[in-house]
Amino acid sequence: MNQRPRRNRKSISIRRMVQETNLTISDFIYPLFVVSGNKIKQEISSMPNVYRWSIDLLLKEVEECINLGIENFVLFPAVEENLKDKIASYSYQSDNFYLTAISRIKTNFPHVSLMSDVAMDPYSSDGHDGFVENGEIINDKTLPILSKMSIAQAQAGIDIIGPSDMMDGRVGYIRKELDNEGFQNTSIMSYTAKYASAFYGPFRDALDSAPKHGDKKTYQMNPANIKEAMIEAELDAFEGADFLMVKPALCYLDVIHQLKNNFDLPISAYNVSGEYAMIHAAANNGWLDYNAAFQESVLSIKRAGADVILSYFAKDFAKLNGK
């Protein structure tokens, strides 16, 4: 044998020397859930160690994360049922708690990158990402609503708009409206290939945002398709997206890889709530080693081609590998 691959595995230092993929805390965006009120830290039963925070405590949590080395955050609002309506009007009410949270974080910690969620579901009495008429999700009536939401977030100081709704044409529509309002420097991270997945369950518990009727299959993608992800990516790149996202991550590593090989824009991946809950559930049963299992999962997402990873594991990753 003149080739013995085990030689390059014989010590920790050699293994480190030949390591192909290196994950660091700056690769991550940490999702945080916000509620209105004061002194609130609510547990989410299906997402251990993830909480809904009121703004006062959210600011403390952000500070703690910054001290661990986390610099990028994405915010999601858990909106009270009585504020939801057909047109998600609370989403662009200028003094709503979500926009207040954005401006407070950016005022207190101007150097962090803050990303938003743009979709109707947290604010919609129908629980769908788009405008519903006679049980149908109406694409073109949704676009102006998404754009009002985006402009309100840009005014609050958001760095990156995150359209997660999967309506056709929304990236171009939002880009044009942002530019018209003078927000040329506000970025768009498009949820480009977002699949109709069973792995969003715990997130919908967190926001109480499950659809009131039907499912999301007429707008989110069929898990069987990868060519369609290329069509979505071409459109988003053409419409002006700054990042292309694949979501979920772990069942879709092939999609991440293919987008990485075919597009020069940064590729992000959303390691979603169900992927987080699964590892916690197994670890709580003593079936998996939590630290080893979650780090292997997030590493695999980077190895597949993701430049940026949205993950609830970011804080635990920072504790183990951060500053």
Where along the sequence are the contacts to ligand PBG (CB under 6 A)?
117, 119, 121, 129, 164-165, 200, 203-204, 216, 272-273
Compare residues 128 and 175 and give the one whose CB is closer to ligand PBG: 128
CB 7 within 8 A of CB 25: no
Compare residues 9 and 217 and give the one whose CB is closer to ligand PBG: 217
Shortest separation between residue 88's beta carbon and ligand PBG, angstroms = 11
Rounded to 10°, the helix 290-304/253-262 angle is 30
- Helix extents (H) in 110-216: 139-156, 170-180, 201-207
Shortest separation between residue 258's beta carbon and ligand PBG, angstroms = 22
What are the structure tokens assigned to 261, written together? 């090989």
194 catalytic? Reply is: yes
CB 101 within 8 A of CB 55: yes
Shortest separation between residue 235's beta carbon and ligand PBG, angstroms = 19
Shortest separation between residue 257's beta carbon and ligand PBG, angstroms = 21
86 catalytic? Reply is: no
CB 272 within 8 A of CB 283: no
- Looking at 84, 216, 247, 302, which residue is catalytic? 247
H or E element in which residue 230 lies? helix 227-239
Task: In whole angstroms, give the CA distance from residue 78 to residue 209.
Answer: 8
Compare residues 129 and 316 and give the one whose CB is closer to ligand PBG: 129
How is residue 85 annotated by DSSP? Answer: B
- Looking at 60, 106, 141, 194, which residue is catalytic? 194
Rg (CA), the chain: 20
Compare residues 165 and 316 and give the one whose CB is closer to ligand PBG: 165
Compare residues 65 and 119 and give the one whose CB is closer to ligand PBG: 119
H or E element in which residue 72 lies? strand 72-77
Shortest separation between residue 180's beta carbon and ligand PBG, angstroms = 24
Cβ-count burial of 18 within 10 angstroms (0-12 exposed, 13-18 middle, 19+ buried)? exposed
Amino acid at 273: S
- Which positions are annotated as active-site residues? 194, 247
